[in-house]
Amino acid sequence: MNRRTTRFFFSHNENRSRMSELPKTYEPTSAQARWIQHWESKGYCNADPNPDRAPHTIMIPLPNVTGALHMGHCLNGTIQDLLTRWRRMQGCEALWMPGTDHAGIATQAVVERRMLEEEGLTRHDIGRDALVERIWAWKDQYEGRILNQLKQIGASCDWRRVRFTLDDVCSSAVRRTFFKMFRDGLIYRGKRLVNWDTHLQTAVADDEVFSEDVDGHFWTFNYPVVDDDGSATGQVIRFSTTRPETMLGDSAVCVHPTDERYTDLIGKQVLIPVNGRRIPIIADALLADKELGTGAVKVTPAHDPNDYACGLRNGLEMINILNSDGTINEEGGEFAGMDRKDARRAIVSKMEELGHYEGVEDRKIPVKHSDRSKTEIEPYLSDQWFVKMDTLAQSAMDAVDDKRVRIFPQRYTKTYMDWLGEKRDWCISRQLWWGHRIPVWGRTLPVEPPPDGEYQDATELIADQVAELLREDQENSLTEAEVNEAISALAVGTGVPGETRFLVCVDGGHEEIEAKLNYLGFEQDPDVLDTWFSSALWPHATLGWPDLQHNPPLVGDPAPSGEKNEVLDYFYPGSVLVTSRDIITLWVARMVLTGLYNMGDVPFKHVYIHPKILDGLGQTMSKSKGNGVDPLELIDKYGTDAVRFTISSLAGETQDVRLPVGYECPHCEAVTAQTKKHQDMKPMGGDTPSIKCAKCKKSFQFPSPWFTPDEGAAVARIVSERFDYGRNFCNKLWNASRFAFMNLEGYTPGTVSMDDLQMEDRWVLSRLATTAREVTTQLERYHFDQATRTVREFTWNEFCDWYLEMVKPRLRDEAMRPLAQRVLVYVIDNLLRLLHPFAPFITEELWHMLNQLATVRGLFETSEASESVMVAPWPEVSEQLVDAELESRFERLQQIIVAVRNVRALYKISPKEPLKLFMRCSPEVAAQMQAVADQFDNLSKTMLAAAGLEVDRPGASANFSMGDADGYIPLEGLIDTAAERERQEKKKQELIGHITGAEKKLGNENFVSKAPENVVNDVRETLAGLKAQLESVERIIEELS
């Protein structure tokens, strides 16, 4: 590879051999490693309470420790880091709190699956403690990997504060919250129909369930109607079902109250032939639908959500017919012990045998599956723990209503409100081993259960009973003070109404009481908490709540410090939460309600919901589609800054962004766009599919969910060419800086006065000031896409394309150089600061180089630059540098230069060929043109031969018209007059079109009278300009004739 390098000079330090040559392209890998290490050693990422600064707090949406980070995390992390770096530069004490989530069922499932695959062991083989130990080992491995990935994307988290939802700090928050809620009567235990995963033997949340159509059957049976004494009346009720085995748990047959076919049967009974039970015929308008099937439906309250609701409404018996592993329990009589699928077949046969079978049809049936085990879900009645949501949900709705929490983009407040508005109680127990164990101990006590509705009294009554038991504890003989202290850490309640089982909740940090309870025969609840219970506490738990006396411990310094928790005090509430829309309900809403409940304040003021990354076909990315892009591979290929820059250019207010992916040829690196065909390719005739590279014609295989590439085959990796955008930008910035650095020989710091500045200096300063202001407002509004575009356009299209080109001659001129250098240094200095949040590594690399060449810098006042751009101040907007009049004059200069270049291209005149330019224009314009004549020469190798009112068209010249100026470029021997006239005629027609439009507008009475004055004036001005241009064109045409 031809890597040319360029020498450049360092005047005030000979000892710079490392930097004496700067490569032509930015090489990200070494820079990244160096600066990650540097920032960490300097402690720039650390944040501590500081009364002189405003806090800015971001809590990371804790990634699951199930696996590596993907593109979504990459986008999420990039934005948080961008905000954190920006606010830090603005002078905030900016905390970005890192950490990970134990992710309960997801992590346990991954570890169990691997254990089964690799060793053939289930969790029951090794037991609770051993399994949990294995999961911890997994967690340590993946947590490290995730944190490292975050560092690779440049995350400036305060790594001393890393938290994990199962660590001591978070655990004590979980314990206290549960205890408080239990004591306040917000947590209760009840029988509920849950989604039961018979494989993992746990309840699965609604959102962890997906529905999939499977081939099934739709049977029709009948139940005979019977008299009070049980004898058949001869009538039958026909009904259909996809799950005949649930007959064993039927407690009614339901019809619509107005269904005339059945009105006379309502209140009578039917017999379930397979077990001989008699059940009533009831009427329920919500459950039965006259139009569907036979209009009658069997009701199985314990095994169907709708039937459950119907059961509650009608006081039906809830008969659970399943064991937790999906086999039929003793309620099933002769079918007990059978798997539910076997029972289904057996029952169908029996019904047929007994003559109650009516028919069957094949049908696609939507069946709920567990996200985790991919097995079919059974609706199952089981004992679970719940949080009452009514008041909590209301508080979280109020917080958004009165704007204590604001959601960006605003439309997502609807998602949040709608979900909370349902106020469905939150099932928080999971039958797992990995997680926060429910801190409740239970035992059947020899006392009368308190009557329902007298909860307060009952609590006291049972607390006395427990205290008594503690006093009677001979072996540990507690003093009365100890007993009282222990009782204060207890909350007592009853379980399900009607049971004589008493439940004692113990606050965290009271292991001695737990021990006593165990001794007294209490047993701790085996379930663990829903993982969202602990992540709901994340914003305050990570800051050390409920310990208000000490600052939370730091990594490597586990002792809590101080006399007051200043960290919590200072950093709570957070500033902004950056997350994706799919967890607005699961996580965001719950954080708000627990924050209000525990802290009395919202957890964050803003929520920014970022877009979701889809592939080129509009599908979500996932391993199972074979369209996932690995952020680390992208970083390896394009560099972190390039990835971040492209990512931020995508993040605005849209819901989704598309990232078309492709296969990178392992031979030549050319990218083949991925299509649906590739995604669906399967091995044919035993051959692994391969793709032929269009560029090098060699074949390669590719990753796929359907097959594994052959051993030793050349395999493409999945990339996206959209990251060229960021990489090219970094390269541009690198080379512009490189050019500047090569021209800083002899740089001297010093102030300048406005009068000393050239037009291009004042222009670039004006544009820089505007850019800084725009970027700042765009970031304030979370419009990262716009901010990226703004900063890119300034850098490339203004600074590089125009300013650098214009300043080149002055940098070669001994006398003019010092001032030009100061402006150049000033602009680069500001530009690097403006770009740092977007592209931290390259800006830091360049900043340090700049520091070696020009430590002291500034225009109207000078000062020594910060050691690192990361802690340099965010560019201040100096409005007095913005000069609109100058910008519009500059624009005319640009237009003329473009017009000249246009003529060159049209007539195929080499850029080296010098041209003459004649301008017919007003004396003012002429004077302005004369003042910048050097730039015509510099930028378009054109000499301004004459300018003024008296200028005539030289013969045989190319022409352009600009409204307030006619331009002529003599091209003896090159001009084809006819073609030139045709070109001008075309231009004329275009102008006439626009003029007609404008005149029509102004001729419209309604427009002139109703449109705002400034709009009308704008049109008048535009029209005048168009007319002037038309005149100019017509003049030229005349001259050409």
Residue 842 binding RNA, by CB under 7 A = no
Q: Residue 631 Cβ, how far from RNA at the closest point, in Å? A: 18
Q: Are 209 and 368 in contact (CB under 8 A)?
A: yes
Q: Are 255 and 281 in contact (CB under 8 A)?
A: yes
Which residue's structure tokens are 């045409």?
1037
Helical packing angle, 933-940 and 923-931, nearest 10°: 60
Please report the DSSP string for 23-65 in residue order: ESS--HHHHHHHHHHHHHHHTTT-----TTS-EEEEE--PPBT
Residues 914-973 that bind RNA (CB under 7 A): none
Q: In this complex, which beta carbon is closest to RNA, that of residue 722 or of residue 857?
A: 722
Residue 515 binding RNA, by CB under 7 A = no
Q: In this complex, which beta carbon is closest to RNA, that of residue 261 or of residue 414?
A: 414
Distance CA 658, CA 618 (A): 6
Residues 428-457 that bind RNA (CB under 7 A): none
The correct pick among 901, 916, 1027, 1035 for binding RNA (CB under 7 A) is: 901
Look at the chain and count its residues. Answer: 1041
Residues 169-208 that bind RNA (CB under 7 A): 206-207
Residues 782-801 that bind RNA (CB under 7 A): 785-786, 789, 796, 800-801
Q: In this complex, which beta carbon is closest to RNA, that of residue 298 or of residue 372?
A: 298
Residues 452-491 that bind RNA (CB under 7 A): none
| Alpha-helix runs per DSSP H in 120-227 | 123-126, 128-152, 168-183
Q: Are 1007 and 1001 in contact (CB under 8 A)?
A: yes
Residues 706-765 that bind RNA (CB under 7 A): 721-722, 724-725, 727-728, 730-732, 735-736, 738-739, 742
Which residues are CB-contacts of 746 (< 8 A; sequence separation ≥ 6)?
Answer: 11, 817, 818, 821
Binding range to RNA, per CB under 7 A, among 126-134, 330-338, 481-489, 578-586: 578-586
Residue 1006 binding RNA, by CB under 7 A = yes
What are the CA-CA distances from residue 372 to residues 111, 303, 653, 959 (Å)? 12, 21, 32, 72
The correct pick among 911, 914, 923, 955 for binding RNA (CB under 7 A) is: 911
Helical packing angle, 884-906 and 923-931, nearest 10°: 80
Residues 869-898 that bind RNA (CB under 7 A): 898
Q: In this complex, which beta carbon is closest to RNA, that of residue 127 or of residue 911?
A: 911
Residues 12-51 that bind RNA (CB under 7 A): 24-25
Q: In this complex, which beta carbon is closest to RNA, that of residue 876 or of residue 913?
A: 913
Q: In this complex, which beta carbon is closest to RNA, that of residue 390 or of residue 1018?
A: 1018
Q: In this complex, which beta carbon is closest to RNA, that of residue 856 or of residue 1023?
A: 1023
Distance CA 114, CA 880 (A): 65
Q: Residue 362 Cβ, how far from RNA at the closest point, in Å? A: 13
Q: Residue 100 Cβ, how far from RNA at the closest point, in Å? A: 23
Number of residues that bind RNA (CB under 7 A): 94
Q: Residue 917 Cβ, how far from RNA at the closest point, in Å? A: 15
The correct pick among 1022, 1027, 1028, 1039 for binding RNA (CB under 7 A) is: 1022
Residue 1026 binding RNA, by CB under 7 A = yes
Q: Are 580 and 651 in contact (CB under 8 A)?
A: no
Residues 213-272 that bind RNA (CB under 7 A): 239-243
Contact flags string 267-296 toward RNA, x per CB under 7 A: --------------------xxx-xxx-xx
Q: In this complex, which beta carbon is closest to RNA, that of residue 479 or of residue 1009?
A: 1009
The correct pick among 90, 201, 235, 306 for binding RNA (CB under 7 A) is: 306
Which residue's structure tokens are 């660590």?
167
Q: Are 67 and 109 in contact (CB under 8 A)?
A: no
Binding range to RNA, per CB under 7 A, among 126-134, 802-810, 819-827, 1033-1041: 802-810
Q: In this complex, which beta carbon is closest to RNA, that of residue 505 or of residue 787?
A: 787
Residues 379-418 that bind RNA (CB under 7 A): 411, 414-415, 418
Q: In this complex, which beta carbon is closest to RNA, that of residue 560 or of residue 616?
A: 616
Within 13 Å and on the Cβ side, how many CA atoms surround 738?
18
The correct pick among 463, 855, 997, 1034 for binding RNA (CB under 7 A) is: 997
Q: Residue 89 Cβ, how far from RNA at the closest point, in Å? A: 23
Q: At 139, list the tokens.
A: 């967690």
Residue 699 burial (CB count, 10 A): 13
Residues 657-676 that bind RNA (CB under 7 A): 657-658, 660
Q: In this complex, which beta carbon is closest to RNA, that of residue 750 or of residue 963?
A: 963
Residues 599-658 that bind RNA (CB under 7 A): 614, 616, 618-620, 652, 654-658
Residue 581 binding RNA, by CB under 7 A = yes
Q: Residue 215 Cβ, how far from RNA at the closest point, in Å? A: 14
Helical packing angle, 640-650 and 631-638, nearest 10°: 120
Q: Examine residue 409 and say whether the peptide bond preceding it is cis (omega within 30 degrees of 0).
A: yes
Distance CA 485, CA 470 (A): 11
**DSSP H/E element including 566:** helix 566-571
Q: In this complex, which beta carbon is closest to RNA, that of residue 203 or of residue 503?
A: 203
Distance CA 512, CA 34 (A): 50
Which residues are CB-contacts of 863 (< 8 A; sequence separation ≥ 6)?
Answer: 856, 857
Contact flags string 537-566 toward RNA, x per CB under 7 A: ------------------------------
3-state SS class at 235 = strand
Q: At 210, list the tokens.
A: 């997906």
What are the CA-CA distances from residue 923 to residues 494, 946, 1029 (Å)? 96, 11, 18
Which residues are CB-contacts of 17 (< 8 A; sequence separation ≥ 6)?
Answer: none
Q: Residue 61 Cβ, how far from RNA at the closest point, in Å? A: 16
The correct pick among 163, 298, 510, 767 for binding RNA (CB under 7 A) is: 298
